[in-house]
Amino acid sequence: MNTESNSLVSRRGLLRTGAGLLLATALPPIPGHAAEPSEYRIVAAPGRARLAGAGRPETDVWAYDGTIPGSLVRLRQGKRARLVVENRLGQDTTVHWHGIRLPNAMDGVPGLTQPPIRSGESFVYEFTPPDAGTFWYHPHANSLEQLGRGLSGAVIVEEREPVAVDRDLLWFLTDWRLTDEGGIASGFGNRMEAAMSGRVGNTVTLNGRVPQAEAVRAGERIRLRLANGSLARIMALRIEGHRPVIVAIDGQPCDPHEPEGGRILLGPAMRIDILLDMQGEPGRHYGVIDDFYEGLTYRLTQLAYDERPPLRAHPLDAPADLPRNPLPEPDIATADHYDLTLQGGMMSGMGGMQGAGMMHGMTGMGRSPVWAVNGMSMTGDGHARMEPALTFQRGRSIMLAMRNETAWWHPMHFHGHSLAVLSRNGKPVPHRQWQDTVLMAPKDVVEVAFVADNPGDWMLHCHVMDHQMAGLMTVLRVA
Ligand SMILES: [Cu+2]
């Protein structure tokens, strides 16, 4: 099998799905020109998209390069990237390159790491991605509305050597709350939702369309990159008749393993790469089911086998392991220990935010807080004068115990680092899992560790956007 030509084919296929590239100047990697940076020009502007398919009304969206999701940004591990973002939104924005370990000044948090990009202006992001994997990009300004109106896209950082699969697919999943007329429902920042599960919508798109089916062939091995770009919707995906193998979480390779109970749990902002050997029967269809919310099970899409005989008699023999990224291993024995406690929300048993000691450290703009981290509430998107909740000594190994004292799920995202997930509720977490977004169930206690090797002030926040805006956010400093 010629994996290089396969990966080139899928690269073109992926670029085609990000069509409408009038404004994008995506330069595909050129062999033999290693010194050339990967260069993109990305324009954030209002646009229109046919999310629900033919026969359904178009939706007014805000988009990167006029497409939902935005242009696929394809970078190479260890190779300099230059990303020019032009703002034509009519309001401030920034871009956060979610999960990529980059210099603080390139992290895209307005006030904290850069001035906001004013409408009509541009900002140049330049960094060298150290890790291969599946990442994404989105605004960190007026985040709830800008993300909720469509500003998001995937970043794929290619491994130095191609991975042995027949096809490399991306499913970028986005949840929308659409009106009957096809518009995006207003009411961003509803206080009741902010205190509960956040703005969960009514329409899920896959690569910008309400999905029908994914055409597959028996016998092929697919690397499927799942990314959840939703504001609040958590997903638990099952693939009928198949046994997916998780090979990477949040871009970081793990020991290949089947998901617990066959359900792939994917919180907002999380990415999971799976290897899928297509062992179904030619001509048959198999559902991909999301059953996270009780009573709200739906079929996301289906795998539609064509009639051709299997590509190969037995599943591909190549190992499922992806090459590891150069993450620094924390030294658990000598690590500095810290606690982060998530508080607030409805049914917290504390009368919402009336609990003792809450809100004393409130900073932020506008909205009053509903949530807190270690008794402090930082609301909004990030801004100047945020005092760090914790300060880590640069180069030290850090052990962080995160406690969810609330009655709600929270995908907790830390910028600028990947976290080794050690234990959950006292039980060791297997398969060497590293994450930048750790999904915490109600009352979960999760221990993570990392080396504080990236200097700067970094956001740590919930990626349910309503929760972030309403106070579930803080700053951690590496100095
Ligand atoms: Cu949350």
Distance 213 CA to ligand 1 centre (A): 32
The alpha carbon of 75 and the centre of ligand 1 are apart by a number of angstroms equal to 30
- pLDDT of residue 359 exceeding 50, the answer is no
CA of 342 to the centre of ligand 1 (A): 9
Cα(450) to ligand 1 centroid in Å equals 22
Beta strands in 245-307 (DSSP E): 245-249, 252-257, 264-266, 271-277, 285-290, 298-305
Write out pLDDT tens, residues 34-79. Answer: 446 689 999 999 999 999 888 889 999 999 999 999 999 999 999 9
Confidence grade of residue 368 (pLDDT, cut at 50, 70, 90): low
Q: pLDDT tens for residues 233-274?
A: 999 999 999 999 999 999 999 999 999 999 999 999 999 999
Residue 20 has pLDDT above 50, yes or no: no
Task: Report CA(239)–ligand 1 centroid distance (Å).
Answer: 27
Q: Which tens digits make up the pLDDT trace of 433-474?
A: 999 999 999 999 999 999 999 999 999 999 999 999 999 999
Which residues, other chains included, contact 34 with Cβ-Cβ below 8 Å and sequence gap of 6+? 79
Q: How far is the CA of 410 from the centre of ligand 1 (A)?
A: 4
pLDDT for 325 beyond 50: yes
The confidence score (pLDDT) of residue 15 equals 35
Q: 470: CA distance to ligand 1 center in Å?
A: 9
Distance (Å) from CA 68 to ligand 1 centroid = 25
Separation of CA 370 and ligand 1 centre (Å): 11
472 Cα–ligand 1 center, Å: 7
Give the integer Cα–Cα distance in Å for 41 and 344: 41
What pLDDT score was predicted for residue 29? Answer: 41
How far away, in angstroms, is 281 Cα from ligand 1 center? 41
Q: What fold characterizes domain 167-305? A: Immunoglobulin-like (2.60.40)
Question: What single-letter amino acid sits at 51?
Answer: L
Cα(241) to centroid of ligand 1, in Å? 33
Residue 445 · residue 410 · CB < 8 Å: no
What's the CA-to-centroid distance between 161 and ligand 1, angstroms?
Answer: 37
The Å distance, Cα 463 to ligand 1 centre, comes to 6
- pLDDT reported for residue 362: 42
CATH superfamily of 11-158: Cupredoxins -  blue copper proteins (2.60.40.420)
Q: Which residues have C-beta within 8 Å of that of residue 445, sequence separation ≥ 6? A: 401, 402, 403, 404, 424, 425, 426
Give the Å distance between the CA of 468 and the centre of ligand 1.
7
Tell me: pLDDT of 10 over 70. Answer: no
pLDDT for 357 beyond 70: no
For the stretch 80-97, pLDDT in tens is 999 999 999 999 999 999
CA angle 35, 249, 62 (to 5 degrees): 70
Ligand 1 centroid–CA 340 distance in Å is 14
CA of 200 to the centre of ligand 1 (A): 12
In single-letter form, the type of residue at position 391 comes to T
- pLDDT at site 117: 98
- The confidence score (pLDDT) of residue 379 equals 81
Residue 249 CA to ligand 1 center (angstroms) comes to 19
Would you state the pLDDT for residue 315?
85
- Averaged confidence pLDDT in the chain: 89
93-120 pLDDT per residue, tens = 999 999 999 999 999 999 999 999 999 9
Q: Rounded to two decimals, what is the model's pTM?
A: 0.89
Are the folds of 11-158 and 167-305 the same?
A: yes
- How far does the centroid of ligand 1 lie from the alpha carbon of residue 55, in Å? 36
Closest of 323, 321, 315, 301 to residue 221, by C-alpha: 315
| Ligand 1 centroid – CA 112 distance (Å) | 21
Instruction: Please tell me which residue, 386 or 328, carries the higher pLDDT value.
Output: 328
Mean pLDDT of 214-239: 97
Q: How confident is the model at residue 7 (pLDDT cuts 50, 70, 90)?
A: very low
Q: What is the CATH number of domain 332-478?
A: 2.60.40.420
- Sorted by where each begins, the domain ranges of the chain are 11-158, 167-305, 332-478
Block residue for tokens 């970094």: 458
pLDDT at 12: 35
The pLDDT of 355-367, averaged and rounded, is 40
Report CA(445)–ligand 1 centroid distance (Å).
Answer: 14
Average pLDDT rounded to a whole number, residues 126-141:
98
